[in-house]
Structure 1
Amino acid sequence: MKENEKKTNYGNWVPDNLMHKMWIAAGLIFLLWIVNWIFLGSMIFAVIFGFFFLLMLAVSVYMHRCKAIFAFEKGGLMGEIHEYLVNHLPYNGDGILLDIGCGAGALTIRCAKRFPKAKLQGVDYWGKEWNYANEQCESNAVVEGVSDRVCFEKGDAANLKYPSGSFDAAVSNFVFHEVKTQPDKRLVVKEALRIVKKGGAFAFQDLFGMEALYGDMEAFVEELKAEGIREIHYIADIERLDFVPKFVQAPWMLKGVGIIYGIK
Protein backbone atom coordinates (compact mmCIF):
# COMPACT_ATOMS: atom_id res chain seq x y z
CA MET A 1 0.00 0.00 0.00
CA LYS A 2 1.35 3.44 -0.94
CA GLU A 3 2.04 6.00 1.81
CA ASN A 4 -0.81 8.26 0.73
CA GLU A 5 -3.21 5.31 0.68
CA LYS A 6 -2.63 4.30 4.29
CA LYS A 7 -5.50 4.60 6.74
CA THR A 8 -5.51 5.53 10.40
CA ASN A 9 -5.82 2.80 12.99
CA TYR A 10 -7.06 4.24 16.27
CA GLY A 11 -8.18 0.96 17.79
CA ASN A 12 -11.23 0.62 20.00
CA TRP A 13 -12.15 0.79 23.69
CA VAL A 14 -13.43 -2.76 23.31
CA PRO A 15 -10.15 -4.60 22.57
CA ASP A 16 -10.04 -7.22 19.81
CA ASN A 17 -8.51 -9.81 22.15
CA LEU A 18 -11.44 -9.40 24.56
CA MET A 19 -13.94 -10.04 21.77
CA HIS A 20 -11.98 -13.07 20.57
CA LYS A 21 -12.00 -14.56 24.08
CA MET A 22 -15.73 -13.96 24.47
CA TRP A 23 -16.63 -15.61 21.16
CA ILE A 24 -14.33 -18.56 21.92
CA ALA A 25 -15.93 -18.95 25.36
CA ALA A 26 -19.41 -18.88 23.80
CA GLY A 27 -18.33 -21.56 21.29
CA LEU A 28 -16.92 -23.83 23.99
CA ILE A 29 -20.04 -23.54 26.12
CA PHE A 30 -22.13 -24.32 23.02
CA LEU A 31 -20.10 -27.51 22.46
CA LEU A 32 -20.64 -28.56 26.09
CA TRP A 33 -24.34 -27.93 25.66
CA ILE A 34 -24.49 -30.12 22.54
CA VAL A 35 -22.41 -32.91 24.10
CA ASN A 36 -24.57 -33.09 27.21
CA TRP A 37 -27.86 -32.84 25.32
CA ILE A 38 -27.27 -35.13 22.35
CA PHE A 39 -24.41 -37.48 23.25
CA LEU A 40 -24.63 -37.84 27.03
CA GLY A 41 -28.36 -37.38 27.38
CA SER A 42 -27.95 -35.30 30.54
CA MET A 43 -30.87 -32.89 30.51
CA ILE A 44 -29.83 -31.15 33.77
CA PHE A 45 -26.37 -30.27 32.48
CA ALA A 46 -27.79 -29.52 29.04
CA VAL A 47 -30.13 -26.95 30.58
CA ILE A 48 -27.30 -25.43 32.64
CA PHE A 49 -24.89 -25.18 29.71
CA GLY A 50 -27.71 -23.98 27.46
CA PHE A 51 -28.46 -21.13 29.86
CA PHE A 52 -24.81 -20.07 30.10
CA PHE A 53 -24.41 -20.30 26.32
CA LEU A 54 -27.36 -17.98 25.72
CA LEU A 55 -26.04 -15.61 28.39
CA MET A 56 -22.54 -15.55 26.90
CA LEU A 57 -23.99 -15.15 23.40
CA ALA A 58 -26.09 -12.18 24.52
CA VAL A 59 -23.11 -10.51 26.23
CA SER A 60 -20.89 -11.13 23.18
CA VAL A 61 -23.47 -9.62 20.82
CA TYR A 62 -23.88 -6.63 23.15
CA MET A 63 -20.12 -6.04 23.33
CA HIS A 64 -19.82 -6.44 19.55
CA ARG A 65 -22.48 -3.76 19.15
CA CYS A 66 -20.67 -1.47 21.61
CA LYS A 67 -17.44 -1.98 19.69
CA ALA A 68 -19.16 -0.82 16.50
CA ILE A 69 -20.62 2.23 18.27
CA PHE A 70 -17.24 3.25 19.70
CA ALA A 71 -15.31 2.74 16.45
CA PHE A 72 -14.08 5.93 14.77
CA GLU A 73 -14.95 4.59 11.32
CA LYS A 74 -18.45 3.37 12.31
CA GLY A 75 -20.45 4.75 15.21
CA GLY A 76 -17.86 7.40 16.01
CA LEU A 77 -18.62 7.67 19.73
CA MET A 78 -14.95 7.66 20.73
CA GLY A 79 -14.38 10.65 18.49
CA GLU A 80 -17.39 12.51 19.90
CA ILE A 81 -16.17 11.98 23.47
CA HIS A 82 -12.73 13.27 22.48
CA GLU A 83 -14.36 16.29 20.85
CA TYR A 84 -16.32 17.02 24.03
CA LEU A 85 -13.07 17.04 26.00
CA VAL A 86 -11.23 19.31 23.54
CA ASN A 87 -14.20 21.70 23.49
CA HIS A 88 -13.72 22.17 27.24
CA LEU A 89 -9.97 22.79 27.08
CA PRO A 90 -9.38 26.55 27.65
CA TYR A 91 -6.19 26.61 25.59
CA ASN A 92 -5.08 29.26 23.09
CA GLY A 93 -2.93 26.80 21.12
CA ASP A 94 0.49 28.26 21.89
CA GLY A 95 3.37 26.17 23.22
CA ILE A 96 3.32 22.43 23.99
CA LEU A 97 0.40 20.18 24.90
CA LEU A 98 0.76 16.79 26.62
CA ASP A 99 -1.72 13.95 26.08
CA ILE A 100 -1.44 11.59 29.06
CA GLY A 101 -2.33 8.03 28.09
CA CYS A 102 -2.42 8.72 24.36
CA GLY A 103 -3.26 5.13 23.33
CA ALA A 104 -3.21 5.10 19.53
CA GLY A 105 -2.79 8.87 19.30
CA ALA A 106 -6.39 9.76 18.43
CA LEU A 107 -6.83 12.54 21.01
CA THR A 108 -3.29 13.84 20.48
CA ILE A 109 -3.89 14.16 16.75
CA ARG A 110 -7.32 15.73 17.27
CA CYS A 111 -5.63 18.38 19.42
CA ALA A 112 -2.95 18.86 16.74
CA LYS A 113 -5.66 19.62 14.20
CA ARG A 114 -7.57 21.91 16.57
CA PHE A 115 -4.46 23.85 17.59
CA PRO A 116 -2.29 24.18 14.45
CA LYS A 117 0.41 26.29 16.16
CA ALA A 118 0.94 23.87 19.04
CA LYS A 119 3.50 21.13 19.43
CA LEU A 120 2.18 17.94 20.99
CA GLN A 121 3.61 15.17 23.11
CA GLY A 122 1.80 11.88 23.67
CA VAL A 123 2.80 9.54 26.47
CA ASP A 124 1.46 6.06 27.20
CA TYR A 125 2.41 2.87 29.05
CA TRP A 126 1.06 0.76 26.12
CA GLY A 127 0.18 -2.31 28.18
CA LYS A 128 -0.39 -5.71 26.58
CA GLU A 129 -4.15 -5.60 27.21
CA TRP A 130 -4.59 -2.80 24.67
CA ASN A 131 -4.04 -2.97 20.92
CA TYR A 132 -1.96 0.22 20.88
CA ALA A 133 1.72 0.94 20.26
CA ASN A 134 4.14 3.81 19.67
CA GLU A 135 4.57 2.86 16.00
CA GLN A 136 0.80 2.93 15.56
CA CYS A 137 0.66 6.48 16.95
CA GLU A 138 3.44 7.64 14.66
CA SER A 139 1.79 6.05 11.63
CA ASN A 140 -1.52 7.73 12.42
CA ALA A 141 0.21 11.11 12.76
CA VAL A 142 1.82 10.66 9.33
CA VAL A 143 -1.52 9.74 7.72
CA GLU A 144 -3.21 12.76 9.36
CA GLY A 145 -0.42 15.09 8.21
CA VAL A 146 0.66 16.30 11.66
CA SER A 147 3.80 14.22 12.25
CA ASP A 148 6.03 17.32 12.12
CA ARG A 149 4.43 18.65 15.33
CA VAL A 150 3.66 15.44 17.23
CA CYS A 151 5.86 12.92 19.03
CA PHE A 152 5.13 9.95 21.27
CA GLU A 153 7.00 8.10 24.00
CA LYS A 154 6.50 5.47 26.68
CA GLY A 155 5.79 6.66 30.21
CA ASP A 156 3.88 6.14 33.42
CA ALA A 157 1.00 8.53 34.19
CA ALA A 158 1.62 8.06 37.92
CA ASN A 159 5.24 9.19 37.62
CA LEU A 160 5.69 11.47 34.64
CA LYS A 161 9.36 12.11 33.93
CA TYR A 162 8.84 15.76 32.96
CA PRO A 163 9.80 18.63 35.29
CA SER A 164 6.99 20.54 36.97
CA GLY A 165 5.41 23.18 34.75
CA SER A 166 6.78 21.74 31.51
CA PHE A 167 3.62 22.03 29.41
CA ASP A 168 1.25 24.79 28.38
CA ALA A 169 -1.69 22.37 28.37
CA ALA A 170 -2.52 18.78 29.25
CA VAL A 171 -5.35 16.43 28.35
CA SER A 172 -6.24 12.89 29.30
CA ASN A 173 -9.19 10.69 28.44
CA PHE A 174 -10.30 7.55 30.35
CA VAL A 175 -6.76 6.85 31.56
CA PHE A 176 -6.34 7.63 35.26
CA HIS A 177 -8.50 4.73 36.49
CA GLU A 178 -6.38 2.31 34.43
CA VAL A 179 -3.07 3.33 36.05
CA LYS A 180 -1.87 0.24 37.91
CA THR A 181 1.22 1.80 39.50
CA GLN A 182 -0.76 4.19 41.73
CA PRO A 183 -3.87 2.96 43.61
CA ASP A 184 -4.80 6.48 44.74
CA LYS A 185 -6.27 7.96 41.56
CA ARG A 186 -6.39 11.44 43.09
CA LEU A 187 -2.61 11.39 43.13
CA VAL A 188 -2.63 10.51 39.42
CA VAL A 189 -4.71 13.64 38.77
CA LYS A 190 -2.31 15.74 40.83
CA GLU A 191 0.64 14.31 38.91
CA ALA A 192 -1.04 15.35 35.66
CA LEU A 193 -1.57 18.85 37.02
CA ARG A 194 2.03 19.05 38.24
CA ILE A 195 3.49 19.17 34.75
CA VAL A 196 1.18 22.01 33.62
CA LYS A 197 2.59 25.53 33.76
CA LYS A 198 1.03 28.09 36.05
CA GLY A 199 -1.66 29.66 33.89
CA GLY A 200 -1.71 26.61 31.61
CA ALA A 201 -4.86 24.75 30.59
CA PHE A 202 -6.07 21.25 31.38
CA ALA A 203 -9.02 18.97 30.62
CA PHE A 204 -9.26 15.44 32.00
CA GLN A 205 -12.06 12.92 31.48
CA ASP A 206 -12.28 9.81 33.62
CA LEU A 207 -14.60 7.82 35.87
CA PHE A 208 -14.72 10.70 38.33
CA GLY A 209 -18.24 9.76 39.41
CA MET A 210 -17.06 6.48 40.94
CA GLU A 211 -16.60 7.14 44.66
CA ALA A 212 -14.50 3.99 45.07
CA LEU A 213 -11.88 5.67 42.86
CA TYR A 214 -12.18 9.36 43.67
CA GLY A 215 -14.38 9.76 46.73
CA ASP A 216 -16.36 13.01 46.88
CA MET A 217 -15.45 14.87 43.71
CA GLU A 218 -16.84 18.19 44.88
CA ALA A 219 -14.56 17.95 47.92
CA PHE A 220 -11.63 16.97 45.68
CA VAL A 221 -12.21 20.00 43.45
CA GLU A 222 -12.15 22.24 46.52
CA GLU A 223 -8.94 20.53 47.65
CA LEU A 224 -7.30 21.27 44.29
CA LYS A 225 -8.37 24.91 44.53
CA ALA A 226 -6.87 25.13 48.00
CA GLU A 227 -3.61 23.72 46.60
CA GLY A 228 -3.36 26.55 44.08
CA ILE A 229 -5.37 25.58 40.98
CA ARG A 230 -6.67 28.94 39.82
CA GLU A 231 -9.79 27.80 37.99
CA ILE A 232 -11.35 24.35 37.92
CA HIS A 233 -14.76 23.08 36.83
CA TYR A 234 -16.34 19.65 37.22
CA ILE A 235 -19.10 18.20 35.04
CA ALA A 236 -20.54 14.86 36.13
CA ASP A 237 -22.43 12.13 34.25
CA ILE A 238 -21.08 12.85 30.77
CA GLU A 239 -22.52 9.51 29.64
CA ARG A 240 -26.03 10.98 29.98
CA LEU A 241 -25.47 13.63 27.33
CA ASP A 242 -27.49 13.40 24.14
CA PHE A 243 -24.64 12.21 21.91
CA VAL A 244 -24.09 9.05 24.01
CA PRO A 245 -26.50 6.22 23.04
CA LYS A 246 -28.45 4.76 25.96
CA PHE A 247 -27.30 1.37 24.72
CA VAL A 248 -23.86 1.92 26.25
CA GLN A 249 -24.99 3.64 29.45
CA ALA A 250 -24.45 0.51 31.51
CA PRO A 251 -22.38 0.05 34.70
CA TRP A 252 -19.87 -2.13 32.84
CA MET A 253 -19.49 0.26 29.90
CA LEU A 254 -19.94 4.02 30.43
CA LYS A 255 -20.92 4.91 33.98
CA GLY A 256 -19.77 7.71 36.25
CA VAL A 257 -17.94 9.59 33.50
CA GLY A 258 -16.93 13.13 34.40
CA ILE A 259 -14.61 15.90 33.29
CA ILE A 260 -12.49 18.37 35.21
CA TYR A 261 -11.07 21.31 33.29
CA GLY A 262 -9.70 24.76 33.85
CA ILE A 263 -6.62 26.89 34.31
CA LYS A 264 -3.78 26.04 36.71
Structure 2
Amino acid sequence: MLIHTALAGEEEPADADGKILVIDYPDFWPFFSRDSDGNMVGFFYEIVSEGLSRIGVKSYWKSFPWGRCQAQVRSGEAHAMVTVPTPERLQYANTHEHPFYIKKQTIFTSADHPKLEQIKAIQSLEDIKNLDLTVVTYVGNGWNEQNIVAHGIRTYHAPYLKNVWRMLANKRGDIAIEWPVAAWSFIEESGLSKDIVQTDVSFAPMSFHLLISKQYAISKRLSEFDAVILQMKRDGTIDAIVERYMGMSQP
Protein backbone atom coordinates (compact mmCIF):
# COMPACT_ATOMS: atom_id res chain seq x y z
CA MET A 1 0.00 0.00 0.00
CA LEU A 2 1.51 3.32 -1.08
CA ILE A 3 0.38 6.23 1.09
CA HIS A 4 1.86 9.72 1.18
CA THR A 5 2.26 10.70 4.83
CA ALA A 6 2.24 14.45 5.44
CA LEU A 7 4.16 15.51 8.52
CA ALA A 8 3.36 18.52 10.68
CA GLY A 9 5.54 21.39 9.52
CA GLU A 10 6.44 19.66 6.24
CA GLU A 11 6.87 22.10 3.37
CA GLU A 12 4.09 21.87 0.79
CA PRO A 13 5.51 20.15 -2.32
CA ALA A 14 5.61 21.79 -5.74
CA ASP A 15 3.23 20.29 -8.29
CA ALA A 16 4.89 20.80 -11.63
CA ASP A 17 3.35 17.74 -13.33
CA GLY A 18 -0.16 17.55 -11.81
CA LYS A 19 0.66 14.46 -9.75
CA ILE A 20 0.33 15.95 -6.26
CA LEU A 21 -3.09 16.73 -4.82
CA VAL A 22 -3.33 19.20 -1.91
CA ILE A 23 -6.31 18.13 0.21
CA ASP A 24 -7.75 20.35 2.96
CA TYR A 25 -9.38 18.49 5.84
CA PRO A 26 -10.88 19.24 9.28
CA ASP A 27 -9.32 17.22 12.11
CA PHE A 28 -12.01 14.59 12.63
CA TRP A 29 -11.15 11.22 14.15
CA PRO A 30 -11.34 8.52 12.79
CA PHE A 31 -11.74 10.07 9.31
CA PHE A 32 -8.54 12.12 9.22
CA SER A 33 -6.21 13.27 11.99
CA ARG A 34 -2.56 13.11 13.07
CA ASP A 35 -0.84 10.84 15.56
CA SER A 36 1.55 12.00 18.29
CA ASP A 37 4.42 12.01 15.78
CA GLY A 38 2.54 14.26 13.35
CA ASN A 39 1.82 11.52 10.81
CA MET A 40 -1.54 11.45 9.04
CA VAL A 41 -3.94 8.73 10.20
CA GLY A 42 -7.64 7.97 9.67
CA PHE A 43 -9.60 5.70 7.39
CA PHE A 44 -10.80 8.42 4.99
CA TYR A 45 -7.16 9.50 4.69
CA GLU A 46 -6.00 5.95 3.99
CA ILE A 47 -8.75 5.14 1.48
CA VAL A 48 -8.32 8.34 -0.53
CA SER A 49 -4.52 8.24 -0.42
CA GLU A 50 -4.46 4.61 -1.55
CA GLY A 51 -6.93 5.32 -4.36
CA LEU A 52 -4.89 8.26 -5.59
CA SER A 53 -1.65 6.31 -5.39
CA ARG A 54 -3.12 3.66 -7.69
CA ILE A 55 -3.53 6.31 -10.41
CA GLY A 56 -0.07 7.75 -9.78
CA VAL A 57 -1.07 10.77 -7.69
CA LYS A 58 0.42 11.65 -4.28
CA SER A 59 -1.62 13.48 -1.66
CA TYR A 60 -0.57 16.30 0.67
CA TRP A 61 -2.99 16.94 3.57
CA LYS A 62 -3.51 20.28 5.36
CA SER A 63 -5.74 20.74 8.42
CA PHE A 64 -8.13 23.70 8.78
CA PRO A 65 -11.57 24.38 10.32
CA TRP A 66 -14.21 22.87 8.03
CA GLY A 67 -15.61 26.20 6.83
CA ARG A 68 -12.14 27.31 5.73
CA CYS A 69 -11.50 23.99 3.94
CA GLN A 70 -14.55 24.58 1.76
CA ALA A 71 -13.66 28.24 1.15
CA GLN A 72 -10.13 27.35 0.03
CA VAL A 73 -11.31 24.71 -2.44
CA ARG A 74 -13.89 27.18 -3.73
CA SER A 75 -11.21 29.84 -4.27
CA GLY A 76 -8.70 27.37 -5.70
CA GLU A 77 -6.19 27.87 -2.87
CA ALA A 78 -6.54 24.14 -2.16
CA HIS A 79 -7.06 21.42 -4.76
CA ALA A 80 -9.50 19.15 -2.98
CA MET A 81 -11.52 18.07 0.05
CA VAL A 82 -13.39 14.94 1.15
CA THR A 83 -17.09 15.49 1.78
CA VAL A 84 -20.66 14.96 0.59
CA PRO A 85 -21.35 16.42 -2.87
CA THR A 86 -24.05 19.11 -2.69
CA PRO A 87 -25.40 21.34 -5.48
CA GLU A 88 -23.48 24.30 -4.00
CA ARG A 89 -20.16 22.40 -3.80
CA LEU A 90 -20.58 21.03 -7.31
CA GLN A 91 -20.69 24.57 -8.66
CA TYR A 92 -16.94 24.84 -8.01
CA ALA A 93 -15.74 21.24 -7.71
CA ASN A 94 -15.95 17.98 -9.64
CA THR A 95 -16.41 14.55 -8.10
CA HIS A 96 -16.75 10.87 -9.02
CA GLU A 97 -19.83 8.66 -9.37
CA HIS A 98 -19.50 6.09 -6.58
CA PRO A 99 -19.04 7.03 -2.90
CA PHE A 100 -16.12 5.39 -1.12
CA TYR A 101 -17.98 5.41 2.21
CA ILE A 102 -21.60 5.79 3.36
CA LYS A 103 -22.21 7.21 6.84
CA LYS A 104 -25.42 6.73 8.88
CA GLN A 105 -26.87 9.76 10.68
CA THR A 106 -28.41 9.07 14.11
CA ILE A 107 -30.20 11.25 16.67
CA PHE A 108 -28.55 11.91 20.06
CA THR A 109 -30.05 13.84 22.96
CA SER A 110 -29.45 14.53 26.65
CA ALA A 111 -30.19 11.59 28.95
CA ASP A 112 -32.68 13.59 31.02
CA HIS A 113 -34.42 15.45 28.20
CA PRO A 114 -38.08 16.07 29.11
CA LYS A 115 -39.18 14.95 25.62
CA LEU A 116 -36.93 11.88 25.54
CA GLU A 117 -39.67 9.37 24.73
CA GLN A 118 -41.07 11.60 21.98
CA ILE A 119 -37.57 12.02 20.53
CA LYS A 120 -37.10 8.23 20.49
CA ALA A 121 -40.33 7.96 18.46
CA ILE A 122 -39.29 10.46 15.73
CA GLN A 123 -39.85 9.12 12.22
CA SER A 124 -39.27 12.19 10.03
CA LEU A 125 -37.78 15.67 9.89
CA GLU A 126 -41.32 17.00 10.19
CA ASP A 127 -41.57 15.32 13.61
CA ILE A 128 -38.50 17.29 14.76
CA LYS A 129 -40.17 20.51 13.64
CA ASN A 130 -43.53 19.64 15.22
CA LEU A 131 -41.82 18.86 18.56
CA ASP A 132 -40.20 22.33 18.38
CA LEU A 133 -36.72 20.86 18.85
CA THR A 134 -33.45 22.70 18.26
CA VAL A 135 -30.57 20.88 16.56
CA VAL A 136 -26.94 21.38 17.61
CA THR A 137 -24.33 20.91 14.88
CA TYR A 138 -20.93 22.25 13.80
CA VAL A 139 -20.05 25.06 11.39
CA GLY A 140 -19.90 23.87 7.77
CA ASN A 141 -22.16 20.81 8.13
CA GLY A 142 -23.69 20.74 4.64
CA TRP A 143 -26.07 17.89 5.44
CA ASN A 144 -27.56 19.94 8.27
CA GLU A 145 -27.97 22.99 6.04
CA GLN A 146 -29.69 20.97 3.32
CA ASN A 147 -31.93 18.88 5.54
CA ILE A 148 -32.44 20.68 8.86
CA VAL A 149 -32.09 24.42 8.24
CA ALA A 150 -33.85 24.14 4.87
CA HIS A 151 -36.73 22.41 6.66
CA GLY A 152 -37.20 25.40 8.96
CA ILE A 153 -35.76 23.69 12.04
CA ARG A 154 -33.78 25.89 14.43
CA THR A 155 -30.06 25.14 14.59
CA TYR A 156 -27.22 26.19 16.89
CA HIS A 157 -23.67 25.94 15.53
CA ALA A 158 -20.54 24.92 17.44
CA PRO A 159 -17.11 25.65 15.91
CA TYR A 160 -16.16 21.95 15.93
CA LEU A 161 -17.97 18.62 16.27
CA LYS A 162 -16.27 17.94 19.61
CA ASN A 163 -18.02 21.04 21.05
CA VAL A 164 -21.49 19.80 20.05
CA TRP A 165 -21.72 17.28 22.89
CA ARG A 166 -20.96 19.74 25.67
CA MET A 167 -23.63 22.07 24.25
CA LEU A 168 -26.12 19.20 24.13
CA ALA A 169 -25.34 18.11 27.70
CA ASN A 170 -25.72 21.72 28.88
CA LYS A 171 -29.18 21.96 27.25
CA ARG A 172 -28.05 24.51 24.62
CA GLY A 173 -30.05 22.50 22.12
CA ASP A 174 -32.30 19.45 22.11
CA ILE A 175 -30.75 16.97 19.69
CA ALA A 176 -27.69 16.31 17.53
CA ILE A 177 -27.78 14.20 14.37
CA GLU A 178 -24.39 12.59 13.83
CA TRP A 179 -22.43 9.44 12.95
CA PRO A 180 -22.27 7.22 16.08
CA VAL A 181 -18.66 6.04 15.65
CA ALA A 182 -17.20 9.55 15.68
CA ALA A 183 -19.80 10.84 18.14
CA TRP A 184 -18.99 8.39 20.93
CA SER A 185 -15.28 9.07 20.62
CA PHE A 186 -15.89 12.74 21.45
CA ILE A 187 -18.61 12.02 24.04
CA GLU A 188 -16.35 9.69 26.00
CA GLU A 189 -13.36 12.02 25.67
CA SER A 190 -15.49 14.82 27.17
CA GLY A 191 -16.66 12.64 30.07
CA LEU A 192 -20.30 12.86 28.97
CA SER A 193 -21.14 9.16 28.51
CA LYS A 194 -23.82 9.31 31.22
CA ASP A 195 -25.24 12.63 30.01
CA ILE A 196 -25.84 11.79 26.32
CA VAL A 197 -27.97 9.00 24.85
CA GLN A 198 -28.06 7.60 21.34
CA THR A 199 -31.52 6.80 19.99
CA ASP A 200 -32.49 4.24 17.35
CA VAL A 201 -33.66 7.03 15.03
CA SER A 202 -31.60 7.36 11.84
CA PHE A 203 -31.96 9.43 8.69
CA ALA A 204 -30.75 9.16 5.11
CA PRO A 205 -27.06 8.22 5.09
CA MET A 206 -24.33 10.56 3.87
CA SER A 207 -22.27 9.45 0.86
CA PHE A 208 -18.63 10.58 0.95
CA HIS A 209 -16.59 11.47 -2.14
CA LEU A 210 -13.36 13.21 -3.11
CA LEU A 211 -14.13 16.68 -4.54
CA ILE A 212 -11.52 18.49 -6.64
CA SER A 213 -11.66 22.17 -7.64
CA LYS A 214 -12.69 22.71 -11.26
CA GLN A 215 -9.77 25.11 -11.54
CA TYR A 216 -7.34 22.17 -11.70
CA ALA A 217 -6.90 19.81 -14.67
CA ILE A 218 -6.43 16.89 -12.28
CA SER A 219 -10.19 17.01 -11.62
CA LYS A 220 -10.60 15.47 -15.10
CA ARG A 221 -9.00 12.28 -13.72
CA LEU A 222 -11.78 11.59 -11.25
CA SER A 223 -13.21 8.87 -13.52
CA GLU A 224 -9.92 7.00 -13.03
CA PHE A 225 -10.19 7.47 -9.28
CA ASP A 226 -13.78 6.19 -9.40
CA ALA A 227 -12.70 3.01 -11.19
CA VAL A 228 -10.05 2.45 -8.52
CA ILE A 229 -12.59 2.94 -5.72
CA LEU A 230 -14.75 0.20 -7.25
CA GLN A 231 -11.66 -2.00 -7.52
CA MET A 232 -10.80 -1.35 -3.86
CA LYS A 233 -14.34 -2.34 -2.86
CA ARG A 234 -14.08 -5.57 -4.85
CA ASP A 235 -10.63 -6.56 -3.56
CA GLY A 236 -11.53 -5.83 0.09
CA THR A 237 -9.09 -2.94 0.56
CA ILE A 238 -11.71 -0.46 1.77
CA ASP A 239 -13.36 -2.94 4.17
CA ALA A 240 -9.95 -3.86 5.61
CA ILE A 241 -9.01 -0.20 6.19
CA VAL A 242 -12.33 0.66 7.87
CA GLU A 243 -12.24 -2.47 10.03
CA ARG A 244 -8.82 -1.53 11.45
CA TYR A 245 -10.21 1.77 12.75
CA MET A 246 -13.46 0.57 14.28
CA GLY A 247 -13.07 0.65 18.05
CA MET A 248 -9.57 2.14 17.84
CA SER A 249 -8.77 5.00 20.20
CA GLN A 250 -7.33 8.18 18.74
CA PRO A 251 -3.52 7.93 18.81
Name which structure has the greater RCO, CA cutoff 8 Å, separation 6+: 2
Question: Which has more radius of gyration?
Answer: 1
Instruction: Assess same fold via TM > 0.5.
Output: no
Greater strand proportion: 2
- Give the helix-richer structure, 1 or 2: 1
